[in-house]
Amino acid sequence: MFSTKKSIRKSFLIQLVFSSAILIFIFSSMLYFYIEKSIYDEKREELLQYATNITSAKSLIENTDPASQNLLSLSIELISLKTTPSESELYESTRHNRTYLTLIHPLDKQNHSYLKITKDITPTKRLLSKILHYIFIINIAGFLLVIIYATMLSKMLVIPIKTLNKKLSNMNEHLIKPIDINELPQEFEPLAQTINHLIARIQNFVKYQKELFIGTAHELKTPLAVIKLKNQVTLIKKRSAEEYIEALKTTNKTIDEMNVIVSNILNIGRQEGAQLDKPVEVDVIEVLKQKADDFKLLAENEGKKLEMDFQPSAYMATLQVSLLNQIIQNFLQNALKFTPKEKSVLLRSRVDDYGLLIEVIDEGCGVDESVDLFAPFKRQGNKSGVGLGLFLAKSAADALGARISIKNRTDGVDGTVASLQLNSQLSCVIPRN
């Protein structure tokens, strides 16, 4: 039924059967001992009633139902004992395969006279034996029912897992789609939501990887074609040394552009390696301050101003610092690139319902929000660039489990707002005095 590997269903089934068997055993034992005690208490009260009637000089039977059948199994003797029992004694004995219940009751303590009333309880013992036998049979039947019930219940509990497995096993990068949470029990909704989040990340990864490969081929093909054409034109006829030097300079410039593309592609590989780094606990506000200090001098050299507004004063988070640095660095580079001279860029942070919100606000030309800005080789504005910066920032944010967005300002000023939201589940506010 089960494999030799560790199985949740097998563990659940064993625990349920074992606990049910113990419960059945305890309940059956308590039931049998209760029945036995009740019957023996009834027999003892009956013998005490006979003894009380005799010692009170009453008839043997007083106000009883037809009790002739009880009297047939009753034996009464007058005995003398040297030791004086403090009260009536009751004990059980067996003779000739029959069981007797005997009561020793004081009749005249001064003369050491006692009544010995013996009753044959063999039918009662047989009845108890039958009850025990029936309880044993019922326990076996109940245990078998528990096994069947546990098997069916464990099978029912793994149905949602099998459903998830079936849906996921039939998927590939072309047909992958989110799981319908409404088809699953409420307890499996968090798991399905996590899987859907992972599926969305896989879809974005596959999409961006395809765009990256196509864009890389296109970006490298153009400069290669320029180099080849320039060389072909140069080789048509003999030229002067200056013309050859000019042709080589053009070729070198084109090669430099190709190197930039290759370097960015290598950065993608390094970033994927950084995603595997062990997260560490850091103060995000301190990281932002250090990054702001690095860019503040650069902004002043370009005739621009970098302003800072960090709230709260400290915010601890567990993450890969290199990925966070890459995102903030890309935001600040783009903001300074598109912000004119004498204008300012604001780096700020604050706590919201999701976690920590980090924003870089510039006074540039804005963006076209209808375009997927995070796709590889997408360029905005009239500035030079390869178009892989935001693609790398989006990949880093996905690895951090954070949200990232680029939107135009809505306060009446031209420019963009680049946002990064860190999840509060991996971080917390640390107040400082």
Mind listing the pLDDT tens digit for each residue in 255-289?
877 777 677 666 666 655 555 567 888 999 999 99
Q: pLDDT at residue 315 above 70?
A: yes
- State mean pLDDT over 76-81: 81
Is the full-model pTM beyond 0.75?
no
Q: Which fold has domain 186-271?
A: Helix Hairpins (1.10.287)
Domain 277-429 in the same topology as domain 186-271: no
Q: What is the pLDDT of residues 343-392, one digit of tens each?
A: 999 999 999 888 899 999 999 888 888 887 777 666 655 555 556 778 77
| Inter-residue contact 101 to 144 (CB < 8 Å) | no
Angle at 406 between CA 402 and CA 412, to 5 degrees: 135
Comparing 129-133, 204-208, 294-298, the range with the smallest average pLDDT is 204-208
Q: What is the pLDDT of residues 38-54, one digit of tens each?
A: 988 888 888 888 888 87
Domain ranges of the chain: 8-157, 186-271, 277-429
pLDDT band at 180 (very low <50, low <70, confident <90, very high): confident
Q: What pLDDT is stored for residue 63 in this prediction?
A: 41
Q: What pLDDT is stored for residue 71 in this prediction?
A: 54
Q: pLDDT at residue 2 above 50?
A: no
Q: What pLDDT is stored for residue 194 in this prediction?
A: 80
Q: pLDDT at residue 1 above 50?
A: no
Superfamily of domain 277-429: Histidine kinase-like ATPase, C-terminal domain (3.30.565.10)
